[in-house]
Amino acid sequence: MKYLKICFGVLFLFFVSCSKDKQLPADSPAHAPDYRDKFTGSYHSHKLCINTSFFNPAPDTTFNNFTNINVVKHPLRSNAVIVGSDTINLSFHGTFTGLNNPPGYLFYDLTLINDSLYISSFSGNVLLTSSCILKGRKQ
């Protein structure tokens, strides 16, 4: 019986000595950092695109220029960014590989790492294909 009283006493002290966690005020909720923040910005990029057609198998148009690509967070989707005019579901590590949504067939390979942007894309149909490589550095 003596040990039972001691156990209840220890348990009582244990529960009484614990305090409740502090509540945050309702007007200042805690927000987890958004992983997309480190990838957003303007990237000064070199773009090389080669277009080929069914009727002319040799590359018939080549675009080789410098451009700025803006990467912004998608306002409605928590895992997406907008790269130029394309909406991409971005992983936590800053990568995406796969088919992008229509219009058209567009295969995307995107990597954002160490303030650099790397994109390889391939789009096309039976008659015309376009292959682009884009490399850029965050400004």
CA distances, 108 to each of 16, 83, 89, 124 (Å): 58, 11, 11, 12
**CA torsion angle for 36, 112, 118, 129 (degrees, to 10)?**
-40
Domains and CATH numbers, the chain: 35-138 (2.40.128.420)
**Distant-in-sequence, close-in-space partners of 122: CB < 8 Å, separation ≥ 6:** 106, 107, 129, 130, 131, 132
Residues of the chain with confidence (pLDDT) below 70: 1, 7-8, 10-31, 57-61, 100-105
CA distances, 124 to each of 27, 53, 56, 120, 131 (Å): 50, 9, 14, 14, 9
Residue 114 pLDDT: 84
Residue 49 pLDDT: 85
Residue 7 pLDDT: 67
Residue 83 pLDDT: 87
Confidence (pTM) = 0.65
Q: 38 in helix, strand or coil? A: helix
The token pair at 44 is: 């000064």
